[in-house]
Structure 1
Amino acid sequence: MERPVVTVKQGKLQGIFEDNVLGSRYLAFKGIPFAAPPLGDLRFKDPEPPASWEGIRDASKNAGDVSVQLQTLPTLAIIGSEDCLYLNVYIPYNLYRTSRNPIMVWIHGGAYLMGNGNDTAVRPDYLMAKDVILVSINYRVGALGFLNIGHEVASGNQGLKDQVAALKWIKENIEIFGGDPNNITVFGVSAGSSSAHLLTLSPLSKGLFNKVILQSGIATCLWAQVEEAEASAFELASMLGNDSKDPVEVVNFLKTIPAHKIVGQQFQVLISEKSRITKIPFGPTIDEKAKEPFLPCPISQLLDDDSDIPIIVGYTSHEYIMFLNDISEEVLKTKFANLDPFIKVFTKDPEKITQLTEQVKQHYFHNKPITKESIPSIVQWMSDLYFCIPVNNFVNDQRKKKKAPIYLYNFSYVGNEMTSTKLMLNNDLPMIGASHTDDVTYLLYKPKCKVDNPKPPAIGTKDREVLEVLTKMWTNFAKTGNPTPIVDEHVTTIWLPATADSFNYLDIDSTPKLLTITDYNNILGDLELQESHSKY
């Protein structure tokens, strides 16, 4: 069997042809180092360039490891290592030995704490049928990827800078694989999506890509930035045995601690009220103390000078289902009966807190007590709070700027395919709608979700139709900047962008429908909700 060899700037790579579950084949180059392993003294530092190698490097399998992290399924364990800065390139068989092909770069999610871009997590099969080259990347997560101690010895956003390093490598080398370095679309889900949005804002990544697809996460989501980062860094060190307040001493100490111990301890570090609500101890921060800041100033300022590129952005209809792992009445009452902690994230004014709390109780819960009957209301409120409100506000602002087109979607399809939510939840909560990351199930082949049924959705089923529609629109956008340049047997609806005159969005169900938000009410002060858009 032919084993193609390509020559990138660091040396020669030998790939491998793999079978696609949809038929045909694709060419894979796996485990390509895009930066030096961040080991030893390179821990907490910006990524360094990758070393060159002699001879032919075998790129038929994943190299290094996933970023060290806590695994929750199938068993609770700390996995991975710090040697994780590798990417994978996948090329459809019919694009082999062709040139100037569109590139899609996948950034994995996982709350900045877990996840990976290897084919053990996601495979490219579904997109390979749509004539694009896919690149999936890994980056440092958790404290090892985001420690910010307010000093250049550990200034934060190392994981985001890993993403920049990967994009630079892609820009420099992708032409060798038949890709077009001037037609790169970055896309991701959840923390991968908010990372992609942050990349559009950072001065370090300007010009490295041309379009972006943001699935269930943007830079202004409550959980997308971590506050009190310095306090968290010192608290982590203290928990591990060093109470110094000297940042250099603390970072030198943390470099001596085994990575798995840092990962095991990092979940105990939740300093601020916001952190306790979002439960993300380490993530993106303003890193103005860095020699080369990724986020040199507040997001609100960076949004004024973001990359003027085409955007697809959206959410699933019932995002929060994934996070309701315990639906006992006692837990529901304990967690959601008191709304003040959620409201305090936005304001410290006692009068305003009282006012907004009453509005939420009336709008979502109709002033009824929290019981199991409240679950749909809880899902709506928390989905809006964490995902839908910030996305809709972002689109509302962008559409008025008359910049590059922005396409809004609501993924509402509930199918028969296994999803991450179904795998994670061990309760009897019915699937009342599309949960967080459900859309990815129809975009990328997820091996952990396909254990019992490895075949793709059968032709003629609604699941297969949604797969065809979603992959076609996403790859159309990657090719042209327009998800529906024409209609065909699968894409039967023209998806119009949101404009200053019309707040359009596409509801993606078994039959996608173009709808318009007409009642965009100011329900929660600075938080805008659209009553006509709620589908619960």
Structure 2
Amino acid sequence: MNKKPDFPEVGYVGSIETLPGIEPVATFKGVPYAQPPINDLRYQPPVPFEETEVRNATEFAEACLQWDLFRNQNVTGSEDCLHLNVYVLREVLSRPRDSSLVPVMVFFHGVGFVACQSDTYNPEYLVQKGVAVVTVQYRLGSLGFLSSGDKLQPGNMGMLDQVEALRWVKKNIRSFGGDPDRVMIFGESSGAVSVNLMLVSPLTKGLFTAAIIQSGSAIAPYAIQRSPMTHVQRLAANLGCLSGSTETLLKCIKTADPVEVVTKDATSAANTSERKSSRSHKKPPNSGPVVQLETVEGWPVFLQEDPEAALAEGHFHKVPVVIGVNKDESASAVLSNLLPRLINATESDSTYAERVFLRKVLRASGIVNNTEVAKASIKFEYFKNYNMSEILELKDEFITLHSDFSVVAPVYRTAMYLSQRTPVYFYTFEYEGELSFSEYLLQPSEPREPRMHSSASHNHNNHKRERQVDAEISELDEAENSTSITNISTGDTEPLLDDRRHVIHGEELLYLFRFRNPSTRAVVDVEDDEGMIVRETMCTLWTNVAKYGQPTPVDVERNSLPLDEWKMFSTVAPYTYKITSKTTLLTAYRHRKMLFWTSFIPTIQSLELCS
């Protein structure tokens, strides 16, 4: 039962959420932290919102304008979306202010900087541990990240939204019983990229005291836009803008209807009319943050240097960090989209998987030197002497390789950088529970026929071959990204699943939040006994970081859970906390594979080898 409590000091009319077996939670939904980014404020940094009257905060705000990847495959949401939600125990609001303020956890959602909304994540179980939780919405897609890479349109509006939300927390959270001097930020996937970037941003100094980075990294291949003008040109072409100068293209985009911008943003510009599938939506390529190379008056510089360079040089805020991955990060991407594409292509070209997919791995990993040696090394490390055309027999190997190059290796390298200058705790989430993304969200996209080239094109002209591989890699990327970053699709074909349970990208969220299924909008909750133990473990560990700066403080009661001590990670002693139905401290995480990506491949890159 929900009631409207009267908390005059808060300044908002909230509601009480009650669930069986837990303490009542006071919720304040749809609280604005910045003015609506419309008209002259569109494509601009956020402007703080100043509250002048008591506000009804009993309903969630609309999602930020986006392409609905999960349900209607149409535009949904509103531009008036810069809102956040605050959750705290009702009992905390009844205390005298400043007597016993609780730590604050601020969550930033994922889904590739292009989709999702804050009401997906309901944190009542985290709040039970004596913390306040804030979930944040920020601008998405081109409305949040349009950038020309210069002073004409610096970009990073969505990241500046997140910074403004943290400033709101710093200024206002005390009224809700939260401690502005104990704020932990956490996020998953692109939300984890956001957290990683906030560690290196000069704008966030003093705004948080700890961080948790879940399955994402600022040095991952998808993290930041490397060629933002490519996206500007593609979007302008989709909108029917006449070719011209950068200024002309930007003016055309900015004067277009934002709904049309979102629609065209979500449609591939390349060969759209040639698609055999009616499913023309996809994740816009490289929509996200940029390094701001030029200073513009009135435009705060969120990111002033390459994230990896910043991490390597120690240019980041020195706060405790928990960082980690899930066991089968890429299982949904590989089983739903990539493998059907590979199987289809391999029927006509038995060399396709080795020739195209491994080249994709090289490019996505930034491997540009000694590519043939690197490709052969990757093939042997993951496939040994097996024929890569045997796709179904090697599906676990494809999942492992894709997981490693796209998520795991960048996350691990990030942990290595951070651990040299600040406390780091590394984890691997491996719980194979009854509630699973791979059970109720994983569906495949329709396999697309490859545009095969005749054998005449396979000649000794290196330029032609390179262009052919470029086209094939683009097609492979299209298949892989044909839905959201979690690759939840509505295709009718059967998924390529075996009897093995997969712990996929985002799975740990089911044990931190009452998670709203993005397809059905129904709230999913853990109900089995073992799953509830894992939820209790996750919520205890995560909130301990907010409270104490470490997940298993030895002098604090651990709620009678059988938790092993979680030791700090370092390059010399890479302790890893394995989370299943119980917790185990490992002395290292997949040592050979991590050594391959953090030592062997960089060494290959640095050598001058004979051609």
Fold conserved between structures, TM > 0.5: yes
Q: What amino acid is aligned across from residue 106 of structure 1 in structure 2?
A: F
Contact 1:421 1:438 in 2 (8 A): no
Q: 1:235 to 1:21 in 2, by over 3 A?
A: farther
Indicate the residue corresponding to 2:288 in structure 1.
Answer: 283
User: What is the alpha-carbon distance in structure 1 between the residues aligned to residue 439 and residue 148 of structure 2?
Assistant: 35
Indicate the residue corresponding to 1:274 in structure 2.
Answer: none
- Which deviates further from its counterpart, 385-394 or 12-21? 12-21
Residue 473 (1) aligns with residue 541 (2): yes
1:355-394 superposed Cα distances (whole Å, 9 cap, x missing partner): 1111111111123223211110000000000111111122
Indicate the residue corresponding to 1:532 in structure 2.
Answer: none
User: What is the alpha-carbon distance in structure 1 between the residues aligned to residue 599 and residue 142 of structure 2?
Assistant: 32
Residue from 88, 91, 96 that aligns with 1:91: 88
User: What is the alpha-carbon distance in structure 2 between the residues aligned to residue 135 and residue 222 of structure 1?
Assistant: 28
Indicate the residue corresponding to 2:426 in structure 1.
Answer: 408
Contact 2:156 2:290 in 1 (8 A): yes
Q: After TM superposition, list the pairs within 5 Å mapping 1:272-351 onto structure 2.
A: 280-291=285-296, 292-303=300-311, 304=313, 305-324=315-334, 325-326=336-337, 327-328=339-340, 330-331=343-344, 333=346, 336-337=353-354, 338=356, 339-345=358-364, 346-349=366-369
Contact 1:316 1:411 in 2 (8 A): yes
1:60 positional shift: 0.7
Q: 1:455 to 1:45 in 2, by over 3 A?
A: closer
Q: 1:3 to 1:216 in 2, by over 3 A?
A: same
1:330 positional shift: 2.0
User: What is the alpha-carbon distance in structure 1 between the residues aligned to residue 8 and residue 293 of structure 2?
Assistant: 39
Indicate the residue corresponding to 1:396 in structure 2.
Answer: 416
Residue from 509, 523, 530 that aligns with 2:596: 523
Contact 2:70 2:518 in 1 (8 A): no
Q: 1:502 to 1:183 in 2, by over 3 A?
A: same
Contact 1:194 1:218 in 2 (8 A): yes
Contact 2:426 2:576 in 1 (8 A): yes
1:6 positional shift: 4.3
Partner secondary structure for residue 149 of structure 1: coil
User: What is the alpha-carbon distance in structure 2 between the residues aligned to residue 146 and residue 498 of structure 1?
Assistant: 34
User: What is the alpha-carbon distance in structure 2 between the residues aligned to residue 506 and residue 332 of structure 1?
Assistant: 40
User: What is the alpha-carbon distance in structure 2 between the residues aligned to residue 156 and residue 527 of structure 1?
Assistant: 36
Q: After TM superposition, list the pairs within 5 Å mapping 1:490-505 onto structure 2.
A: 490-499=561-570, 501-505=572-576
Partner secondary structure for residue 86 of structure 2: strand
Partner secondary structure for residue 561 of structure 2: coil
Q: After TM superposition, list the pairs within 5 Å mapping 1:345-494 onto structure 2.
A: 345=364, 346-349=366-369, 352-368=370-386, 369-370=388-389, 371-399=391-419, 401=420, 403-419=421-437, 422-426=440-444, 427-430=495-498, 431-448=500-517, 456-458=525-527, 461-486=529-554, 487-494=558-565
1:348 positional shift: 3.0
Q: What amino acid is aligned across from residue 315 of structure 1 in structure 2?
A: V
User: What is the alpha-carbon distance in structure 1 between the residues aligned to residue 443 and residue 158 of structure 2?
Assistant: 28
1:65-124 superposed Cα distances (whole Å, 9 cap, x missing partner): 211111122332221121110000001123222342100001000101101112xx1111
Partner secondary structure for residue 122 of structure 2: coil
User: What is the alpha-carbon distance in structure 1 between the residues aligned to residue 530 and residue 295 of structure 2?
Assistant: 50
Q: After TM superposition, list the pairs within 5 Å mapping 1:11-410 onto structure 2.
A: 12-20=11-19, 22-54=21-53, 56-63=54-61, 65-98=62-95, 99-118=100-119, 121-268=120-267, 280-291=285-296, 292-303=300-311, 304=313, 305-324=315-334, 325-326=336-337, 327-328=339-340, 330-331=343-344, 333=346, 336-337=353-354, 338=356, 339-345=358-364, 346-349=366-369, 352-368=370-386, 369-370=388-389, 371-399=391-419, 401=420, 403-410=421-428
Corresponding pairs, count: 512
1:481-517 superposed Cα distances (whole Å, 9 cap, x missing partner): 1111144422421111113541101011111110012
1:473 positional shift: 0.4
Contact 1:6 1:176 in 2 (8 A): no
User: What is the alpha-carbon distance in structure 2 between the residues aligned to residue 321 and residue 360 of structure 1?
Assistant: 19
Q: 1:122 to 1:452 in 2, by over 3 A?
A: closer
Using the size of structure 1 for normalisation, the TM-score is: 0.89
Higher Rg:
2
Q: What amino acid is aligned across from residue 91 of structure 1 in structure 2?
A: V
Q: 1:517 to 1:27 in 2, by over 3 A?
A: same
Using the size of structure 2 for normalisation, the TM-score is: 0.79
1:454 positional shift: 6.0
Partner secondary structure for residue 5 of structure 1: coil
Structure 2 residues without counterparts, runs of 5 or longer? 271-281, 445-494, 603-611
Q: 1:114 to 1:332 in 2, by over 3 A?
A: farther
Indicate the residue corresponding to 1:534 in structure 2.
Answer: none
User: What is the alpha-carbon distance in structure 1 between the residues aligned to residue 413 and residue 179 of structure 2?
Assistant: 33
User: What is the alpha-carbon distance in structure 2 between the residues aligned to residue 21 and residue 528 of structure 1?
Assistant: 52
- Which deviates further from its counterpart, 43-52 or 183-192? 43-52
Indicate the residue corresponding to 1:512 in structure 2.
Answer: 583
Greater strand share, 1 or 2?
Answer: 1
Q: 1:477 to 1:265 in 2, by over 3 A?
A: same
Partner secondary structure for residue 73 of structure 1: coil
User: What is the alpha-carbon distance in structure 1 between the residues aligned to residue 577 and residue 285 of structure 2?
Assistant: 31
1:50 positional shift: 1.1
Contact 2:68 2:74 in 1 (8 A): yes
> How much is the aligned-residue C-alpha RMSD, in angstroms?
2.6
User: What is the alpha-carbon distance in structure 1 between the residues aligned to residue 291 and residue 552 of structure 2?
Assistant: 37
Indicate the residue corresponding to 2:7 in structure 1.
Answer: 5
Contact 1:215 1:314 in 2 (8 A): yes
Structure 1 residues without counterparts, runs of 5 or longer? 272-276, 530-536
User: What is the alpha-carbon distance in structure 1 between the residues aligned to residue 378 and residue 265 of structure 2?
Assistant: 33
Contact 2:515 2:525 in 1 (8 A): no
User: What is the alpha-carbon distance in structure 2 between the residues aligned to residue 81 and residue 92 of structure 1?
Assistant: 30
User: What is the alpha-carbon distance in structure 2 between the residues aligned to residue 278 and residue 367 of structure 1?
Assistant: 34
- Which deviates further from its counterpart, 240-249 or 376-385? 240-249
User: What is the alpha-carbon distance in structure 2 between the residues aligned to residue 279 and residue 188 of structure 1?
Assistant: 21
- Which deviates further from its counterpart, 109-118 or 257-266? 257-266
- Which deviates further from its counterpart, 223-232 or 329-338? 329-338
Q: 1:389 to 1:270 in 2, by over 3 A?
A: farther
